[in-house]
Structure 1
């Protein structure tokens, strides 16, 4: 279980770094159709090295997350993913010179404390495959995320960033649950497994929505929506259908740890914006002076 938690936290570091790099890249990309599902926006962003490096970091993050999901309950892995915002906040304070208030340092401490409580109280990964309908439900949710992206991209202001971020987080959550189902005791052949298609569809939709959210909205709002979308749903699915449990007598402690870690991460959402602004400022050429 220790290896799983280490992998989950390393995955969070990769996600935090990748989100900043991709947000900078998409903001420097010419706007597209205005839809939340804009493939041309993604293709243009891929021409920028920051987006490509961010994509590679997401790939590394996914590999580490798979290792974590082999030994930890979904609620512990997803709460650890939310810790990426604490990593971004500390990096912004140390590297970029961003000043953290006492409340924000308290939020960093809350994330760390919540994860520590979760790590202590978490049981082993649940061994249940869940009901057969769960795999089809995941595929249905993945389709809904993809279809909802187009109208969501045309919402006004903060609502657009929040809904797109929430949709992206939901997509990433579907990916996590699908990985668990594919690694179940008796997984069906991949070509006949709806969970495999849900993983591919939800992952692709999540990247499209996240690119649109970063390009045309507040990084802070989009990140907060993504954290909620990728933590709450998978945690509920893991406990209700996949057999995730805590150590004996520590269920209440696990709930408190999860809530504290996610709430602390949400309190630090603004650092996605701060880091993006700092990196963008460094990459913007200084205006020439006229003599």
Structure 2
């Protein structure tokens, strides 16, 4: 649980750093997913610092996924929005409304309930069919995400965000499907390639979503995609369970953390986007 919360802190602070760099990056000329956006953003040192924190958070996420049920880790990662909100209020001068402070408290309360009720990870490493299905899901996420980039502006950000969340969800499931780290075993496991493809697809789609539309819509879609589906796979296919008699508490904690994260969705890019509230310039106001 310490690793999961550490990952949330890393991802949350990274979002604030990347927010400044992404907003300073010139947008592309098309309306679809722009892979060159990553190269342009990488010229900003704060974006690179955010990537470093993302890398540390990913390592902590892997550690957590090898010890905790997917539903607990997914809720903890969604809690990175609470970290982002708090960091943005200090680093970017973004003012939190009363309901957003309540959402931060809800996230913390939900995680506390999950921490009390979670059992260990399931003892199943999944079937070969599930490994191949996970790799197929990663490829589908990338293909549908590219198509989502051509949707009308109103629905584009939400679709790209949902695709990004599904990509990150593939990563969560794939980690649990890797049952050996010897090179021969690892390279023959389709879950390894699902992890790499799902992570790359999620990162590309989220970066495109944040620059091309509503941050709130994109982040809400991402939170739903990376929590609900993987949690169901963990329970139904990988044997994730709660402590005996604590299932209602776990469900309540998961729902509370998820709802709190959705209420903080506008902080998916580190603060309020220009299309939703007046933009604050980082140099004068105070991923």
TM-score (norm 2): 0.90
Q: Distance in 1 between matches of 2:94 and 2:30?
A: 32
Structure 1 193/259 Cα, relative in aligned 2: closer, same or farther at 3 Å? same
Consecutive unaligned residues in structure 2, runs of 5 or more: none
- What does 1:1-291 correspond to in 2, within 5 Å? 5-32=1-28, 34=30, 36-183=32-179, 189-272=185-268, 275=271, 281-283=281-283
Q: Distance in 2 between matches of 1:9 and 1:258?
A: 15
In 1, are the aligned partners of 2:7 and 2:61 still within 8 Å (CA)?
A: yes
Paired with 1:257 and 1:32, the residues of 2 have a C-alpha distance of 41
Distance 2:116 2:216 in 1: 30
Q: Aligned in 2, Cα 1:185/1:57: closer, same or farther, shift over 3 Å? A: closer
Return the alpha-carbon distance in structure 1 between the equivalents of residues 283 and 246 of structure 2: 48
In the other structure, the counterpart of 1:288 is none
Shift of 1:151: 1.9
Corresponding pairs, count: 281
CA distance in 2, matches of 1:188, 1:78: 30
- Note the alpha carbon deviations across 1:184-210, whole angstroms, 9 max, x for none: 799981221110111111111111111
Structure 2: distance between partners of 1:135 and 1:93: 42
**CA 1:264–1:92: 2 relative to 1, 3 Å:** same
Structure 1 Cα separation of the partners of residues 149 and 93 of structure 2: 33
Q: Measure, in 2, the Cα distance between the counterparts of 1:98 and 1:284.
A: 12
What is the CA deviation profile of residues 248-276 of structure 1, one whole-angstrom value per residue up to 9, with x for unaligned ones? Answer: 00111101110110001101112335626
Question: Take 1:72 and 1:143, find their aligned partners in 2: how far apart are those partners?
Answer: 26
Q: 2: CA distance between counterparts of 1:55 and 1:36?
A: 23
Structure 1 range deviating more: 84-93 or 209-218: 84-93
The superposition leaves residues 124-149 of structure 1 with CA deviations (integer Å, 9 ceiling, x where unpaired) of 11110223211111111110111112
TM-score, normalised by the number of residues in structure 1: 0.89
Q: Is the contact between residue 92 and residue 280 of structure 2 (CA under 8 Å) also seen in structure 1? A: no
Q: Is the Cα–Cα contact under 8 Å of residues 180 and 186 in structure 2 kept in the other structure?
A: no
Task: Check whether the contact 2:178–2:192 (CA below 8 A) recurs between aligned residues.
Answer: yes
Which structure 1 segments of 5+ residues have no match? Answer: 286-291
The structure-2 alpha-carbon separation of the partners of 1:188 and 1:170, relative to structure 1 and needing over 3 Å to count, comes to farther
Shift of 1:244: 0.5
